[in-house]
Amino acid sequence: MREEAASIARATRRLLERERALTGGELVAAGIATATRKGLKLPELPAIAVGTVAAPASAPSVPAALSAPGQAASAAPAMPAFAPAPPAAAAAPPAPAAPRRPIASLSKTPAKPPAILPEVILPAFTEPVNASAFDGNRDAIHVAALPVLEQVASEANACTKCELCKTRTKAVPGIGSARSGIVFVGEAPGADEDLRGEPFVGRAGELLTSMIAAMHTKNLIPGVPLDRENVYIVNVLKCRPPENRNPLPHEIQQCSPYLIRQLEALQPRVICCLGKFAAELLLDPKANGLTKTTTLASMRGKTYRWRGAKLIVTYHPAYCLRSPSAKRPVWEDLQRLAQEYLDV
Ligand code: URA
């Protein structure tokens, strides 16, 4: 009898400790998962159900190195110049960039009749999110990251771990800094990058650069200058695959430790995966419910985690060049990135 009581007490303590480790959004997700398992009906939530985003009530102070004069917050940024306006007769545009409301207030006022939610697939996040430029210590992260980034770059420049070293002109380790805490991860260098030793400098690179510039001019993250120097731009592979073919599994396996070391040093707040190679490398398929047939389109629109970083997935700029209509969803994804960045 005494043993039984002790075992119940132990189980209760474990449960309380587990719940204490969860954030508000995770508690909601855990509650939903439990209710769903028990077959309870819940009010329908919007697709963005895990992780709430709230713009800061007042403009937080920014480290001197990051502050840019004359930036003021603006709501619902319109489509920037990099994305063409939709044709007049086009179907209704995708959801506007209104700031997301906290889950608590959404779930109190169900707009639709109750429905059973699918099992929540995103894992519970127990690691704290890495610092933003508002937290005051990104400068320290930036300084501490420099020697690691230099070391990785010199190793990548001399790397002979796979056959790509025989055909490359220059390795392309990465560019930018840890200052903002935003990292864009592409696929592999193309011809222009191979010649210059710098990522995203060809046509796709010009588009990426103008997307980052649009995030800045539309003031998506007020007070944090966004350009190629303040974000970090990097690829899954450091060397160009011949004829721009897709990276091969053994190349990714050999090369990805460089990227992982870079990310560990950069301690990003948000990682933006450009295309499926970056997403498939950085997302744990099991924890995120991904299979071999999961499309990039269905990976979009969610916020994942890679250690202490939030992670979002969007279309590769090269795909946007081939399919200009993809620029609109990319702009939505960049707004999600900014909202997640601002969320505490
Ligand atoms: N595409 C990429 O994925 N990376 C580059 O650096 C250039 C094009």
| Atom number of ligand 1 nearest to Cα 236 | 3
By the 8 A CB rule, do 333 and 182 touch?
A: no
Tokens coding 223: 């007070």
C-alpha to C-alpha distance for 169 and 239, rounded to whole angstroms: 9
**What is the arithmetic mean of pLDDT over 232-243?**
98
Those residues whose C-beta lies under 8 Å from the C-beta of residue 252, and which sit 6 or more positions away, are 236, 237, 277, 281
Q: Is the dihedral of CA 72, 73, 76, 80 positive or negative?
A: positive
| Atom number of ligand 1 nearest to Cα 317 | 1
C-alpha to C-alpha distance for 298 and 292, rounded to whole angstroms: 12
Does the pLDDT at position 324 exceed 60?
yes
Check if CATH label 3.20.20.70 holds for domain 134-342.
no
Task: Give the pLDDT confidence score for residue 86 in this predicted structure.
Answer: 52
CA of residue 198 to ligand 1 center, whole Å: 9
More confident residue, 227 or 84: 227
By the 8 A CB rule, do 180 and 204 touch?
A: no
More confident residue, 302 or 35: 302
Does the pLDDT at position 90 exceed 50?
no
- Among 168, 169, 170, 193, residue to substitute to test ligand 1 (most atoms within 8 Å of Cβ): 193
How many C-beta neighbours within 10 Å does residue 14 have? Answer: 10
Task: Give the pLDDT confidence score for residue 122 in this predicted structure.
Answer: 64
By the 8 A CB rule, do 242 and 232 touch?
A: no
Task: Give the pLDDT confidence score for residue 40 in this predicted structure.
Answer: 38
Tokens coding 193: 């990058």
Least confident of 51-55, 137-141, 215-219: 51-55
Task: Give the pLDDT confidence score for residue 211 in this predicted structure.
Answer: 98
Q: What's 201's DSSP letter?
A: -
Q: Is the shortest distance between the CB of 199 and ligand 1 below 6 Å?
A: yes
Task: Give the pLDDT confidence score for residue 4 in this predicted structure.
Answer: 57
pLDDT tens readout for residues 43-79? 332 232 333 333 333 333 333 333 333 343 445 688 8
pLDDT tens readout for residues 25-48? 343 344 433 333 334 333 332 232
| Pairs from 74-81 (Cβ < 8 Å, separation ≥ 24) | 74/218, 74/219, 75/99, 77/218, 77/219, 77/220, 77/335, 78/218, 79/328, 79/331, 80/210, 80/211, 80/214, 80/217, 80/218, 80/331, 81/210, 81/214
- In degrees and rounded to multiples of 5, residue 112 shows phi and psi of -120, 165
- Among 206, 207, 211, 235, residue to substitute to test ligand 1 (most atoms within 8 Å of Cβ): 235
Residue 191: band (very low, low, confident or very high) from pLDDT cuts 50, 70, 90: very high
